[in-house]
Amino acid sequence: MKVGDLVKHSDSGGTPIYGIITEEKAVHKTAANWPHKQYPITKYRVEWAYGDWGWFFQHNLEVV
């Protein structure tokens, strides 16, 4: 995934929504189990076709 990709998000009540990745940033996520190590992961800012936007992890999106 990279900036400019068309993506689909299907977790919105069964109806897929489409948008464009406009930005990406590296964040640190903390593991839930002991030891609570942090690891880097990328989040993507997506502009949706209906005008809204949000930050999402790669596992929530599918490149179309």
Residue 21, CB-side half-sphere exposure with 13 Å CA sphere: 23
DSSP 1-39: --TT-EEEE-TTTT--EEEEEEEEEEEEEE-SSSS--EE
- Model confidence pTM above 0.85: no
**Residue-averaged pLDDT of the chain:** 91
> In which band, very low, low, confident or very high, does the pLDDT at 12 lie, cut at 50, 70 and 90?
low
**What is the per-residue pLDDT across 31-62, written as a single tens digit (0 to 9) for each?**
888 888 888 999 999 999 999 999 999 999 99
Domain ranges, ordered by start, for the chain: 6-63
